[in-house]
Structure 1
Amino acid sequence: MAPAAKKLKSAQTVSAKIKGKQRADPQPSSRFKLVAGSYEKLLYGLEGTIAEDSTFTLKPIFIFPAHVSCIKAVASSPHGGKWLATGSTDEIIKVWDLRRRKEVGGLMHHEGSITHLSFPSRSHLMSASQDGTLCLFRARDWAVLRSLKGHKGPVNGIAVHPSGKVAVSVGKDRTLRLWDLMRGRGVASTKLGKEGELVRWSTDGKLLAVQALSNIDIFNAEMTLLHSIKHPSRIHDIKFCKRVENDSQVLLVGAEDKKVSVYTFKDVEDPSNPPILVASFVGHGNRVKAIDTLVVAIPSSSTTTVISTVSSDGFIRLFDMSHLGKSEKDIQPVAEYDAKGTRFTCVTLADQDAETPLTAGKRKRDTKDSDDDEEDEDDEWKGVVPLDDGDGDGETEGSESD
């Protein structure tokens, strides 16, 4: 096992801040949207449907050049939200109305490539950049609520806790930083001893995974190192996912070995019981670059979880999580789309419906339902207000506990 990382100073604040009621999941639908970005600057949109006989289909609904440079990140707003955000090495975040399939505009607050995007709620967007900052935007008017500073170098990845109250980030400075989203400030940091490339919370928010090259370290909320996984090949994405048949969870790992490996935990709190590799989602002919998951409904039946994967082989593939645990260890895709050699970099799954073609043009102001998603936003976000720290620049530096 790799040596334990130094615990976060004031680490007890992590578990304290994330306690409380978790957000309720939206009612699953048998229709969903899949959006993927590529090195070739192209944005692909697919519509997924599930028939009563559990047949999955992927239908292309749009493809166009969304940026002037490589697309590095894509995210969709949760809980029936309508927003899509894309980030690029052109240093711009593009925002799209996924319901109308219209471009809203560009957010140009960062001065470096966009490395990660995440919607902590359906009316707030978080971004990370190589300029060393994280930004929190409000979807009502896309104002910058907070510009969080603390990393001494590029930020590689961020993860918002399921409660929406805190976030963690990793960067080239080999540190993991904790951010209080209710107050818009940094509260603690720890040295990892290596450059974290990705960070992910488990579905219940009790575990934290940090990925670096072919290694994954699993921590609890108190930042105690529980397990270290040495994967056989270079890792490009990781994601926790619940099993379909119960509330236990697995860790999905997409890597250079052209598949998504599935790790399970017998007793995650027991360091003597390491994660076990139990199965693989296969079918790609090149590295798996990104993974996303979404709970969907099977008509006249129950629910399942779909797993979307994109690869440098030009394929978008869809897998059914309910196939895990059956006789086959190598699980085949239930649907796929061939983009003819496009080198995909990122993917997101959205549960919204849309009815009109997506066009890459300027969006005229239409206030009819512009605030629909914000009216019933969780009360906890009402404490996040536009920032003014007295110097007129609209920014603050996250407080440190170094």
Structure 2
Amino acid sequence: MAKNQFRIIVGSYEHNILCLSLDLSLKTPLFTPIFHFQAHALSVKCLDVSKRYLVSGSNDEHIRIYDLQKRKELGTLLAHQGSITNLKFSKSKTENGDGEGSNNKWLLSASEDNKIIIWRVKDWENFGTLKGHIARINDVDIHPSNRVAISVSEDHSIRLWNLMTVKKAAVLKLRNYSQNGQFVRWIGNGDYFAVALLNKVLIYKTAAAKVHCEIDMNKKTIMHLETETLDGKIYICVAMSDGNIHFYPTEGLLTEEPKVEEPEFSLLGHSNRVKDFKFYKNDFGTYMVSIGSDGRVVVWDMEKKDELAVYDCGERLNCLAVVDETVEKYETMKKRDSESADLGEQSEVESDTEELKKVMFGNKNKKSKKGKKNKKKKVSIELE
């Protein structure tokens, strides 16, 4: 019998990463700590997960890579000269819920150094740098097609990027607003996108590149923004400094004459700032995990809109990722069929060491050239 179980990974101001396994199959939900360690020299600012890989970014300018399947750190990406503000994997079609396929080949990292770097996941090579912002980049999101990215910055602009050509696609200025964009998310299939300022959410129509409507949060501070489909309806989900998460259905917002109303519902699970929240769907239902400065991890049943479980970490939490419980099970690894496989073919497990050697040392006959090239880019990849 399948268990209703998944893992929650959080990063804290105290430099730590904590992984919890949550079992909802039991009468009383059970949290089991899986690992807890100091991951960085300074605060952990962002996390993202894609299949077996977890990445963390920090004020110490490092991006660390972990293999969750083996519960092992793979190495460090060093290319930014500033705090890492955001990490975002391109999602495969399967992860987006659009069927089979795999497009999760990019990792985007944003920083206070005004740059976005595109990393190629298969070998963690620096594929290119997106330059154009002239101040700290606050957030980045990848279009459902995986071909376009969007970013917001302290330079009072919104930029769209062509990930295929590694060039800027468009620049939008926040001319009528005194605040900078703090968070940005594509809505649905990408025809619209939402930008959160300090206390407003602006909804843009992508084709027109203009503000379609706005949601005023009555001078309350926005702490995080997500968009999610729940029961067939797309919501703009806004976390606040007072512990609330508000849910605005887009049905009335995306019409020719938008109607901006009060949130359809709100969830209050924290005593102060909600720092991050993520959604997780499995065969048993749809869940939301929220974290706050109060150190609480709160798990919600989104069908009942009710609090399911709470875990107090005792640390000031900053960022969050959610992943399947099966990520660590050996059976999920892609193994070689000993009878039908070619002699040169390797399983996912066997190929890891060779891949890491290639990243570290490259091909022997190109070693010196590659070393010079990496030095010129100021890119360093440290691996065990």
Q: Same fold (TM over 0.5)?
A: yes
The reply on whether 1:277 has 2:263 as its aligned counterpart is yes
The reply on whether 1:337 has 2:323 as its aligned counterpart is no
Q: 1:316 & 1:106 partners in 2: Cα distance?
A: 27
Structure 1 stretches of 5 or more lacking a match? Answer: 1-27, 299-303, 325-331, 357-365, 374-389, 396-402
Determine if contact 1:226/1:269 at 8 Å carries over to the other structure. Answer: no
Q: 2:4 & 2:118 partners in 1: Cα distance?
A: 31
Shift of 1:338: 0.8
Query: Partner of 1:305 in structure 2?
Result: 286
Match of 1:49 among 16, 23, 46: 23
Shift of 1:336: 1.5
Query: Partner of 1:242 in structure 2?
Result: 229
Match of 2:7 among 33, 49, 62: 33
Determine if contact 1:29/1:297 at 8 Å carries over to the other structure. Answer: no
Give the match's secondary structure for 2:352: coil
Determine if contact 1:29/1:296 at 8 Å carries over to the other structure. Answer: no
Query: Partner of 1:162 in structure 2?
Result: 144
Match of 1:195 among 176, 180, 191: 180
Q: 1:292 & 1:252 partners in 2: Cα distance?
A: 10
Change (3 A) 1:178 1:117: same
Query: Partner of 2:214 in structure 1?
Result: 228
RMSD: 2.7
Give the match's secondary structure for 1:370: helix
The reply on whether 1:260 has 2:245 as its aligned counterpart is yes
Determine if contact 1:111/1:131 at 8 Å carries over to the other structure. Answer: yes
For 1:308, the aligned partner's letter is: V
Query: Partner of 1:291 in structure 2?
Result: 277
Structure 2 stretches of 5 or more lacking a match? Answer: 92-103, 331-347, 356-372, 379-384
Q: 2:128 & 2:29 partners in 1: Cα distance?
A: 41
Query: Partner of 2:89 in structure 1?
Result: 119
For 2:141, the aligned partner's letter is: A
**Cα offsets for 1:223-281 (capped at 9, x unmatched):** 232221111410110111111x3x21111111111121111233322344115312111
Give the match's secondary structure for 2:303: helix
Change (3 A) 1:311 1:391: closer
Q: 1:159 & 1:106 partners in 2: Cα distance?
A: 22
Give the match's secondary structure for 1:131: coil
For 2:307, the aligned partner's letter is: P
Compute the TM-score of the two structures, normalised by the length of structure 2: 0.79
Determine if contact 2:3/2:25 at 8 Å carries over to the other structure. Answer: no
Change (3 A) 1:296 1:29: farther
Change (3 A) 1:68 1:230: same
Over the matched positions of the two proteins, sequence identity in percent amounts to: 30
Please say which structure displays the higher CA radius of gyration: 2
Aligned residue pairs total: 325
Shift of 1:367: 5.8
Match of 1:108 among 46, 66, 78: 78
Larger helix proportion of the pair? 2
Query: Partner of 1:172 in structure 2?
Result: 154
Q: 1:257 & 1:199 partners in 2: Cα distance?
A: 21
Determine if contact 2:5/2:25 at 8 Å carries over to the other structure. Answer: no
Work out which structure has the larger RCO, using CA pairs closer than 8 Å and 6 or more positions apart in sequence: 1
Shift of 1:29: 8.5
Change (3 A) 1:272 1:187: closer
Determine if contact 1:32/1:353 at 8 Å carries over to the other structure. Answer: no
Query: Partner of 1:20 in structure 2?
Result: none
Residue range with higher mean Cα deviation, 86-95 or 213-222: 213-222
Compute the TM-score of the two structures, normalised by the length of structure 1: 0.75
Q: 2:350 & 2:4 partners in 1: Cα distance?
A: 27
The reply on whether 1:63 has 2:41 as its aligned counterpart is no
Residue range with higher mean Cα deviation, 201-210 or 99-108: 201-210
Q: 1:367 & 1:92 partners in 2: Cα distance?
A: 26
Shift of 1:71: 0.7
Determine if contact 1:265/1:275 at 8 Å carries over to the other structure. Answer: no
Query: Partner of 1:139 in structure 2?
Result: 121
